[in-house]
Structures are given as structure tokens and as C-alpha cells.
Chain A
């Protein structure tokens, strides 16, 4: 089944403890992106990647890192999480920037709580 898989689905951590949220897609998509969703603020883009080794900042990149060493994986790294990063996170992928192809495929989300 074509899908975007995020892990973990739920995570509670403490301030300052480094964590990684994994994202993997099995559709050979070139474009991948991370979003956070907060009440009243909608979905905001954190980082995106046009292809392997190509990443760029979205609207809210502060406090996050990403890497794209292989096409299928796009992990989100929080080096020193803070409570204001408590949020619902989504990973998404798309075939290539110029393709319509029914838009983005989203993962099921990761609910992160930083205490």
C-alpha cells in the first residue's frame, strides 16, 4: 500500500532531550515536507526537501533540523525540545514539484508533548 509512515504516533519527552521523528514513504516521491499543526494556527510548514541532499526552510524552522540522505526517508530532529514545540506533526510527500498527481500524501501524524 502506498503510504507515508511516521513514527512514533505519540511521544512525551522532557525539555532538552534530543529526539527524532521518522518519516518514510514507499512511493518513490522526490518531494517531502514536515508540518506542525496547532489549534487556531492551521498547518505550518517546518522544512521541505526537493530531493536527496536538498532541504530548505519552511515558515517555522526554528528549533528543528532535517536530513535527506535517501529518497524514502526524511527524519525530523529536535536537538533540544522545548514546551513550545508541543504539537501535532505531519510528514507529507509528493511525486515531484511539477507533478499534479493528486497532491500530497500525508502521514498519520505524531503527537509530541514536551514537558
Chain B
């Protein structure tokens, strides 16, 4: 499983766009990139997944450059309820052994 590096924490004001970058230099050809969101005392929740270029859903966008050595989760116009820890996972679709790491703690400020 590819090792990932994320910022430990980020602050943002309400209404702003937030971009969280994940570095995964040793990503393998078969690996996908998946992001999860976790609120305090709750289990992580799937946000978005991608392989290359750009993926968008109703809550976020995921940007993956051509070399795939990093990815950026973009949250448009964050609100206080987006305050959470965000995890980046990189692995093949097998996912037998999964490491979440410590994630990025996003604090949204009024």
C-alpha cells in the first residue's frame, strides 16, 4: 500500500473553497485514490474516489495530476459542518490491508 502524506491540520473560513493535498510518491499503476471524512466519535465516511484527472460528485472534487504522485480534495464553499478529519487512502481495489494514517484535521471558522 502506497504511503501517503497529508497536512496535519488546516483552518478555513466559512464559504471558502478548501483544498487538501495528499502526497503519494510511490503510487502503483493499479492503485486508486480514495478520500474519507470522519466526524468526532463517528466512523469514517466515503467521500470520493478516483484514478486519474478529475472526479466530481455532489460534495467534493478530486484532482489527480498526470503523474498521479499527489491528489487534491477540493471542498467548495465549506460550512461549519465540514469540520472533520479527512483521510487520503491509496491502494489497489483489493484493499486487503488498509492504512488510514492520521489524516488532515479541517477546522472551519465562522
**Which 8 residue pairs spanning A and B have beta carbons closest together?**
A106-B43, A103-B46, A43-B100, A42-B102, A97-B94, A90-B43, A98-B93, A102-B46
Q: Is A64 an interface residue (CB 8 A)?
A: no
Q: Are A106 and B44 in contact (CB under 8 A)?
A: yes
Query: Which positions in B face A, CB cutoff 8 Å?
Result: 32, 34, 36, 41-46, 49, 87, 93-103
For the residues of A in contact with B, the DSSP-based class is strand
Contact of A103 among B49, B94, B97, B101 (CB under 8 A): B49
Who on chain B is nearest to A98 by CB?
Answer: B93
For A, the interface residue count at a CB cutoff of 8 angstroms equals: 32
A13 vs B43: C-alpha distance when bound (angstroms): 22
Q: Are B100 and A109 in contact (CB under 8 A)?
A: no
Q: Are A42 and B93 in contact (CB under 8 A)?
A: no
Q: Are B87 and A43 in contact (CB under 8 A)?
A: yes
